[in-house]
C-alpha cells in the first residue's frame, strides 16, 4: 500500500536501482520537495489532532490549544495546567506520539538524501 502511494506521489519516478545511473539533479530536488511536503503534511495533521484534543478534552480555546499542541510537538512542554485526568492522559499520549511522528517526518525528509549518497558510492564502485 505504501509503495504505490509513494510511486504516485513521485510521478512514477521510483528510486533508481544499483545498476541504474545516478538520478539527475532536477529529479533529486523533486524527490526532496515531495518528501518535505509529506513531512509537513504529517506534522500539520498531528498538530491538528493535538489542537482538537486540547480543545475538547481540556476545554482550552483554539489559540491556547494551538499553543499547547505546538509546544509539545516542538519538545518544549505544555503551557497551561490541565484540569481533568482525561486531558492529562491525552497530553502524555500526545507528547509520546508527536515525538515519534516528528522523528518519522525527519526520516521521510532524509530518505532521498541517504539514498543518493548510498547510490553514489555504489555507482563509483562500478
- Would you list the domain boundaries of the chain? 25-125
Residue 25's CB is within 10 A of a number of other CB atoms, namely: 8
How far is residue 15 CA from its own chain's centroid? 20
The tens place of each residue's pLDDT in the chain, 126 residues long, gives 555 555 555 555 566 676 677 777 887 788 888 888 888 888 899 999 999 999 999 989 999 999 999 998 888 877 878 888 999 999 999 999 888 888 888 888 888 788 778 777 765 554
Q: How far apart are CA 74 and CA 88, in angstroms?
A: 18
pLDDT of residue 50: 92
Q: Which of 73, 30, 76, 13 is nearest to 48 (CA)?
A: 73
What predicted TM-score, i.e. pTM, was given to this entire model?
Answer: 0.72
Of residues 57, 62, 99, the one with CA closest to residue 77: 99
> Which one of 3.90.1210.10, 1.20.140.10, 1.10.287.70, 3.40.50.300 gives the CATH number of domain 25-125?
1.10.287.70
Question: How many other CB atoms sit within 10 Å of the CB of residue 118?
Answer: 11
Amino acid 123: pLDDT: 56
Amino acid at each position: 500500500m505504501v509503495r504505490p502511494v509513494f510511486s504516485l506521489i513521485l510521478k512514477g519516478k521510483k528510486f533508481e536501482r544499483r545498476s541504474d545511473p545516478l538520478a539527475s539533479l532536477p529529479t533529486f530536488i523533486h524527490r526532496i520537495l515531495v518528501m518535505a511536503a509529506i513531512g509537513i503534511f504529517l506534522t500539520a495533521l498531528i498538530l491538528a489532532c493535538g489542537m482538537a484534543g486540547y480543545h475538547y478534552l481540556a476545554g482550552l480555546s483554539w489559540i491556547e490549544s494551538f499553543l499547547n499542541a505546538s509546544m509539545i510537538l516542538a519538545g518544549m512542554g505544555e503551557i497551561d495546567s490541565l484540569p481533568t485526568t482525561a486531558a492529562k492522559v491525552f497530553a502524555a499520549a500526545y507528547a509520546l506520539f508527536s515525538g515519534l511522528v516528528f522523528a518519522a517526518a525527519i526520516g521521510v525528509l532524509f530518505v532521498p538524501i541517504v539514498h543518493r549518497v548510498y547510490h553514489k558510492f555504489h555507482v563509483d564502485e562500478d
